[in-house]
Amino acid sequence: MATKIRIAPKGMGLNDFVADAEGFFAAEGLDIEFDWKTFRGTQSSWKHLDYFQRPQDQPYADKQDDLIQGACAWGSVCNAAAGMGRFVHDCYGVSPWAIFVRADSKIRKPEDLADVPVAVGMRAGSHFNVPYRLEAHLPLAKIKTVNVGGFGARLTALLNGEVEAASLLPPQIAMAEQLGLRSIIANTFHTIWWVPEAMAPETVQAYLRALDRAEKALDADLPKYLPLWAKAIPAEFADRKWDFSQFGRGERFVLKPIPRAEFDEIFAQVERWGLDQYAKERSFDKLIYTSA
């Protein structure tokens, strides 16, 4: 009998969608349900929400124990430290990141972002990447962020002139390029998954194997799967004509443990940025979920 689980995709990559389309989840004995409510919520505005009130926090507030989510490495570790599940130690993702401005912006280089509020989703990849990458160009005191929320909301805020710059992830990076927006700084970062502490290890193992099979399928024939980006487009942008052939790969999945040194660096950076106030637990051994 198949094991039922719910998945809230990050939307930064195609692995979940490929694994579903190709039957990899079913082949691993999983009966999956995409949690579109949580996923679409993570794309929307979080302007008036505090930590623990974000869409991705709600499943833990409601004590749901069958949901697998993913986030930036910093976010997943911080969420686990705050009492929301455990971060999965068996794997990680590698995702593009960039800060974009409008085509007519006077901002030309990272140094021009001094004291310029950058639209982010608080305490998520779009947020943590800003100080992490901009500190090579600016003093921390000159790096400013403004909580807008999910990537649909951030892209909308940039297009509407509500903000001068926005921190973007896939697929909104490709969307921004097709909309004529301009990149100021770009890099990559690690993502990891987080799960309820009580989730069965064999269920998580099966899920990771399905993602790894999807990774191999993407490497073998990327153009075949690029149209699946349509599943990640926010509702407010769904009526535009996107050239998915130009969207690129997005996040990659790596079935190897995230290095322990990266965990230590995450806490060191988060503490230095003053973003560790919700951390109740800081022990690596108590925060990891190892399915192997």
CATH number at 167 reads: 3.40.190.10
pLDDT of residue 48: 79
Q: Which domain holds residue 166?
A: 97-188
Distance CA 178, CA 172 (A): 10
Whether residue 60 is contained in a domain is answered as yes
What are the per-10-residue average pLDDT scores of the chain (292 residues)? 89 95 98 86 76 76 77 89 89 97 98 98 92 97 94 93 97 96 97 90 95 98 98 91 95 93 92 91 88 68
Q: In terms of domains, do 25 and 164 share one?
A: no
| CA distances from residue 25 to 54, 61, 263 in whole angstroms, order as listed | 28, 27, 29
What pLDDT is recorded for position 63? 66
Same domain, 167 and 214: no
Q: How far apart are CA 207 and CA 4, in angstroms?
A: 11
**pTM of the shown model:** 0.93
Please give the pLDDT value at position 62: 66
Q: Is 291 a member of any domain?
A: no
Question: Do 209 and 70 have their domain in common?
Answer: yes
- Domain match, 117 and 248 both: no
Burial class of residue 40 (count of CB atoms within 10 Å of its CB; 0-12, 13-18, 19+): middle
In a domain, 292, yes or no: no
